[in-house]
Structure 1
Amino acid sequence: MNERKLPTMYGLAESDPDQNLIKREGVSPEALEQIDRIMAEMGRMRQLERQIMRNSQSFMKLNETDMRALRMLISAKHAGTAVTPGQLARYLGISSASVTKMIDRLIEGEHVARRPHPTDRRSWCIEVTGPTHLMARQQVGRHHAQRFEVAREFTDAEREVIIRFLARTSDAMEDSMNGAQTALDDQGKEPEAGQS
């Protein structure tokens, strides 16, 4: 890997200089530098992913929710699974009225099509069109292919370490997010009788 100067906004010295969140006693300077580099590379990857998504959205003239819908529909197509509007709304976390508007807009743009549901004659499903599937593969799929190529370069043991790191990082972030939400919820509660 090329040594490069990475943005310092992810460095511990810049993000937590007073050690309010991250205590650093007992951690060697070498380990701190390595951790800073990990954080900086993760930040750089997030920035690149956002840029890739913005470029794809701009090229395909779609918004973020549209792109998430297309990714779900493409995955379902590969799995041979029919997707109803209700399933799509639940996946996206939007109302049925919002998903209907989105589907109508995507149909008008020839990105998706309504089809009779293969097993439920009372229902219909949504499928991504061939041209949009191809466009998404060219715009987003090639980046996934590059990730695969990088992952293939590592040994089985190295990949296990990477998997463990990413999984534990995701778990820690999820716990932190849930803890923050609980704290917000607690702030909004009325004190019980006898408490002040």
Structure 2
Amino acid sequence: MNAARGESASNYWYSDDAGAQDAVSVLRALRHLRVAETSMRTRTQRSMGMGENDIVAVRHVIRGRQAGSYVSPKDLAETLNISSASTTTLIDRLEKSGHIERQPHPTDRRALILVPTPNADRDVRAALSGSHERMLEVAESLTPEERGVVVEFLERMAAAVSG
């Protein structure tokens, strides 16, 4: 109870009516998920000895290769929303760690592309596979109708958070 305002902690942001409290329980579950995901990312960063942008960059380059597209340093800068100088430093670091390579673009000799090394794919899979397998199990345990409801809810929530 906030003595100065005469409020309980439960109604600080939200109404105390039952419908609002049910909705608040959904928001609490989302917060719990975000905390767990942050913890997973921290564990992944530690196990790979990399920062958040490093891991996102490696995964982006791996996905580009899987999709059959070329990832340029400019693409990476846009994906990470970082400057070209920061991108160069990041690429240098990932090249030195053996996760990506710079290669000439196959059709534009003036351009470079980034490609993952075999180590990159192996390291990312080793760091994330257990978590991803457990998450997939949970998603597969839902009925198709439940999956549809969850997907719609999460997309609407993402839109609400995006503003």
Pair in the same fold by TM > 0.5: yes
Counterpart of 2:47 in structure 1 is 59
Report SS of the residue matched to 1:159: helix
Do the aligned partners of 1:82 and 1:118 also contact (CA within 8 Å) in 2?
no
Which has the higher relative contact order, 1 or 2, with Cα contacts under 8 A spaced 6 or more apart?
A: 2
Return the TM-score normalized by structure 1. 0.72
How far apart are residue 164 of structure 1 and its match?
A: 1.5
* 1:73 Cα deviation after fit: 0.9
Partner of 2:142: 154
Correspondence for 2:132: 144
How far, CA to CA, are the matches of 1:157 and 1:56 in structure 2? 32
Q: Structure 1 segments of 4 or more deviating over 4 A? A: none
Partner of residue 104 from structure 2, selected from 116, 133, 141: 116
Q: Following TM superposition, by how much is the alpha carbon of 1:126 offset from its aligned partner in structure 2, in angstroms?
A: 0.8
Counterpart in 1 of 2:75? 87
Alignment of 1:1-16 (within 5 A): 14=9
- CA separation of 1:41 and 1:23: change in aligned 2, threshold 3 A: closer
| Residue-by-residue CA offset, 1:97-129 (whole Å, 9 max, x unaligned) | 110111011111111111121222211111121
Cα offsets for 1:58-110 (capped at 9, x unmatched): 11111111111111111111111111111111111011111011101111111
Equivalent in the alignment of 1:22: 14
Query: 1:193 matched to which residue of 2?
Result: none
The corresponding residue for 2:151 is 163
SS in 1 for 2:11: coil
Q: CA deviation at 1:40?
A: 2.7
Provide the residue aligned with 2:56 in structure 1. Answer: 68
Letter paired with 2:11: P
- The higher radius of gyration belongs to 1
Q: Give the match for residue 45 of structure 1.
A: 33
Once residues 160 and 70 of structure 2 are traced to their aligned partners in structure 1, the CA distance between those partners, rounded to angstroms, is: 34
Structure 1 unpaired stretches of 5+:
1-12, 176-196
2:110 & 2:60 partners in 1: Cα distance?
A: 23
**What's the secondary structure of 1:127's corresponding residue?**
strand
Number of matched pairs: 156
User: How big is the alpha-carbon RMSD for the aligned residues of Structure 1 and Structure 2?
Assistant: 1.9
**Shift in Å at residue 24 of structure 1?**
4.6
Q: Tell me, in whole angstroms, the C-alpha distance in 2 between the residues paired with 1:141 and 1:75.
A: 15
Unaligned runs of 5+ in 2: 1-7
Identity %: 32
After TM superposition, the score normalised by the length of structure 2 is: 0.86
Task: Return the match for 1:127 from 100, 115, 123.
Answer: 115
